[in-house]
Chain A
Amino acid sequence: MAKYIVKRVGLALITLLIIVFLLFVMVRIMPGNPFPSERMSAEQIANKRIEMGLDKPVLVQFRDYMVKLLQGDFGKGTSLYYGAPIKTVLSTCVQNSFRIGGLAILIGTAVGLLLGITAALNRGRFLDGFCTVFSIVGVCVPSYVFLIFLQYYFSYKIPYFPYFFDANRFLFSSILPALSLSLFTMSTVARFTRNEMVEVMDSDYVRLAESKGIYGPRLIRRHVLRNALIPIVTVLAPLIVDLLTGALVVEKIYGINGIGKLMVDAISGEGVDYNYVLALGILYSALYIGIMLAVDLLYGILDPRIRVAAKGDA
């Protein structure tokens, strides 16, 4: 198993390196550059390029970038927040996005599981239909629409929650955006849990468990949920990445200084900020690869069939 993990981690790192390289090259190829031409003369731009090392061959630039990156240095902004180290700006944004995203994941998963289990246990009855309708609505309504709805009722009609994000009242002012962001995850998890459970409840091995006298909570917990929840991990992983990396529109509407907002600013500001786009791209990729890897390893622990195969592999 240890050998298997080392192999998987190694592969993940190589993947990440390739992504960083592609990002690095593509940022330089794509239209737009860090210099607003209407405000800078050609000479100024040329000087700036030399200062930033953009005149060197791409491979040399990449080498220099990697050397710094490995020391944990993302460089400085090339147009956005001019001059401030990216690390400082990024850490604030990451904190905000991660906290709100984390809260959304917690709410979404917990409520989603509860809804799904309730629906499956009441299959064909009213509650099942209610959960199905709720899931469909939840998947279809964009989170920012839901956020505006929440703002209208719980900030304006009943002035309880704040209109905008306030870092000083972090948890309190995170509730509305987290709730609206959790809706999609909640619906997806609920629908998936319900369908997986119904399938398992119809399976032969649950019949066999019943035929040996197992019933009620023990049957559901040990034979139904244990089997039904394994595949949910795979559905959850990309949702988690999505939520952690921030939501462009929700962050904009609720005035949250998060990763999503930063990404938009980095691309659509006065000039395309090479280093910010790169840093954010690397962050997204690393998160995605990391969480997928974690899921694969977790899957191995949860599902004995894979556990043994992995052992054989190594």
Chain B
Amino acid sequence: MNEKAILELKDLDVSFRTNAGVIHAIRGVNLDLQKGETVAIVGESGSGKSVTMKAVTGLLDENATVNRGQIHYRLAENGKEEIVDLLKLPKKELRRRINGRHIAMVFQDPMTSLDPTMPVGKQIMESMLLYGGRSREEAKARALELMNLVGISDAEHRMKYYPHQFSGGMRQRVVIAIALSGDPDILICDEPTTALDVTIQAKILELIKDIQKRMGLSVIYITHDLGVVAKVADYVNVMYAGKIVEVGNVNEIFYDPRHPYTWGLLTAMPDMDTDDDRLYSIPGSPPNLLHEPKGDAFAPRNAFALAIDEKAEPPLFKISDTHYAATWLLHPDAPKIEMPPELQARLERERKEAAKYLA
């Protein structure tokens, strides 16, 4: 682990036992998170992004098995730093030492993620009282502070409110306040804006960004919304069928994507500046991981698939120090294939526009 890294996933491999058989959901994922950075994991539903983060927080369902891999976390506790493998910690210890106090989570649907029978103030204070070594008054003061921080006015009064007395956006603010209540180092946001109104989405993203800066948090975003990624992320991991197929910094992914799947995702983003009135979507659907895919899992949906894609899984090819992609198109012997011209034109236009703003 390098010195700035706070979290490192190494060759994580997870499968689920179901009635239909064993589903191999995560097939060797590597991921790095540096202190203070924002990393996004992007992919379609079922690509394994949420499962990966559930493994980090110890929230995997009971039918899950971790086959391989490590999750190294730089644990700073009582002034000492040590590197622990989160997968090796017993569940009880994980809850006591890591969850909330070091790694906290913001969930997707604020309508269902708050306990309906507990006032929100109490939900924010709960783990502070359990672990924080704070008195009731101190915990209450901190909860008020957090509610103000996440933009809930009249906090003193609203602490006593139950979740159903809040709107969706307000509830998500409460969820964020709960996540912050243990002073974590890492905040994992699992599609934090998907269930919210578009107008609220931007506000919540701004809020998380602002808090990140103030508290020096490292943030992991799980999302399928590339618009969100462009706004918040430093690094992007594109995930497909339980594997990371392309990783790079945000500029590399948005202006110089190399994997045909990333091309597809970018083309599928709605674009206002085009005369084309057809919205592109990637043909087909992700593979069923009940059956181990042969060769490149994306090949059946890939218009640029090569013969070798049917036979062997591509390794990650290095493009720059930060940019890697797992596609045979990057092999020196592969035919020269460029991204589709529509996408190229679009990225070119966006790049110019961005330059205009910067100038």
List residues of chain A with CB under 8 Å of any chain B CB: 123-124, 203-205, 207-216, 218, 222-223, 226-227, 230, 302-305, 308
Across the interface, which residues of A come within 8 angstroms of B130, CB to CB?
213-214, 218
Q: In the complex, are the beta carbons of A227 and B115 less than 8 A apart?
A: yes
Q: Is B99 part of the contact surface with A, judged by Cβ < 8 Å?
A: yes
Q: Are B127 and A213 in contact (CB under 8 A)?
A: yes
Q: Are B115 and A205 touching (Cβ within 8 A)? A: yes
Partner of A213, one of B62, B95, B107, B175: B95
Total interface residues on B, CB under 8 Å, equals 37
How many angstroms between the C-alpha atoms of A214 and B115 in the bound complex? 13
Tell me if A207 and B115 are in contact (CB < 8 A): no
Is there contact, CB below 8 Å, between A214 and B126? yes
Contact present for B117 and A212 (CB under 8 Å): no
A205 with B126, Cβ < 8 A, contacts A211-B57, A212-B178 known: no
Interface flag for B104 (CB, 8 Å): yes
Q: How many angstroms between the C-alpha atoms of A218 and B130 in the bound complex? A: 10
Contact check, B117 vs A303: say whether CB atoms are below 8 A apart: yes
Please list the 4 inter-chain residue pairs (A to B) with the smallest Cβ-Cβ separation, ordered nearest first: A212-B100, A213-B100, A215-B95, A204-B113
Tell me whether B107 and A212 are in contact (CB under 8 A). Answer: no
B126 to A304, Cβ gap below 8 A?
A: no
> Is B112 located at the chain interface by the 8 A CB criterion?
yes
In chain B, positions 126-176 with a C-beta closer than 8 Å to chain A are 126-127, 130-131, 162, 164-165, 175
CB-nearest residue of chain B to A224:
B115
Q: Which of these, A205, A213, A214, contacts B116 with CB under 8 Å?
A: A205
Q: Could you mark each residue 169-198 of chain B with 1 if its beta carbon is under 8 Å from any beta carbon of chain A, else 0? A: 000000100110110000000000000000
Query: B residues within 8 A CB of A222?
Result: 118
A208 and B101 within 8 A (CB): no
Contact between chains at B92 and A216 (CB < 8 Å): yes
Q: Which residues of A contact B6 (CB under 8 A)?
A: none
Q: What separation, in Å, do the CA atoms of A305 and B164 have in the docked complex?
A: 7
A90 CB, nearest partner CB in chain B, Å: 41
* B109 nearest CB across to chain A (Å): 6
Contact: A305 with B162, CB < 8 Å? Answer: yes
A210 and B162 form a contact (CB under 8 A) = no
A204 to B59, CA, bound (A): 11
Residues of A within 8 A of B175 (CB): 208
A294 to B117, CA, bound (A): 20
Is B96 in contact with chain A by the CB < 8 A criterion? yes
A123, A212, A304: residue with the most chain B Cβ atoms closer than 10 Å: A212
The 8 Å CB contact of B112, one of A204, A211, A213, A216, is A204
How far, in Å, is A233 (CB) from chain B's closest CB?
13
Q: Given A205-B114, A215-B96, A304-B164, 20 more contacts at CB 8 Å?
A: A203-B112, A204-B112, A208-B114, A209-B126, A210-B58, A211-B99, A211-B107, A212-B100, A212-B127, A212-B181, A213-B96, A213-B98, A213-B131, A215-B92, A215-B95, A223-B115, A226-B118, A304-B117, A305-B162, A308-B162
How would residues 23 to 38 of chain B score, 1 for a CB under 8 Å from any chain A CB and 0 otherwise?
Answer: 0000000000000000
B126 to A212, Cβ gap below 8 A?
yes
What chain A residues lie within 8 Å of B352 (beta carbons)?
A: none
Give CA–CA (A222, B119) in the complex, Å.
12
Q: Which of B54-87 contact A (CB under 8 A)?
A: 57-59, 62
Chain B positions within 8 Å of A304 at CB level = 116-117, 119, 162, 164
A161 CB to closest chain B CB (Å) equals: 42
Question: Contact between A212 and B116 (Cβ–Cβ < 8 Å)?
Answer: no
Q: Name the A residues within 8 Å of B92 (CB-CB).
A: 215-216
Name 7 interchain pairs, CB-CB below 8 A, sorted by A. A205-B116, A208-B113, A210-B59, A211-B57, A211-B99, A212-B179, A218-B130
Which of B91, B105, B131, B165 makes the CB contact (< 8 A) with A211? Answer: B105
A205 cross-chain contacts in B, Cβ below 8 A: 112-116
Instruction: For the complex formed, measure the closest distance between the CB of A150 and the CB atoms of chain B, giving whole angstroms.
Output: 38
Cβ–Cβ contact A211 & B59, under 8 A: yes
* Alpha-carbon gap, A154 to B114, bound state (A): 51
In contact, B99 and A210 (Cβ under 8 angstroms): yes
Nearest CB in chain A to that of B101: its residue: A213
- B residues in contact with A223, CB < 8 Å: 115, 118
Q: Taking the nearest CB of chain A, how far is it from the CB of B238, in angstroms? A: 25
Binary contact readout B268-298 vs A (1 if CB under 8 angstroms, 0 otherwise): 0000000000000000000000000000000
- State in angstroms the CA–CA spacing of A211 and B178 once bound together: 10
B54 nearest CB neighbor, chain A only: A207
Q: What are the residues of chain B within 8 A of A216 when measuring CB–CB?
A: 92
Q: Find the B residue at minimum CB distance from A211.
A: B105
Residues of A within 8 A of B109 (CB): 204
Can you name the residue of chain B whose Cβ is closest to the Cβ of A215?
A: B95
Instruction: Give Cα distance in the complex from A123 to B61, angstroms.
Output: 12
A288 to chain B: closest CB distance in Å? 28
CB-CB < 8 A to B164: which residues of A? 304-305, 308
Q: Provide the residues of chain A in CB contact with B115, threshold 8 Å.
A: 205, 208-209, 223, 226-227
Closest A residue to B119 by beta carbon equals A304
Q: Tell me the complex Cα distance, A205–B163, Å.
A: 11
From the candidates B57, B91, B126, name the one contacting A215 in the complex (CB within 8 A). Answer: B91
Instruction: Write out the residue numbers on chain B whose beta carbons fall within 8 Å of the beta carbon of A218.
Output: 130
Q: Which residue of B lies closest to A210 (CB)?
A: B59
Bound together, the chains give a CA A303 to CA B62 distance in angstroms of 30
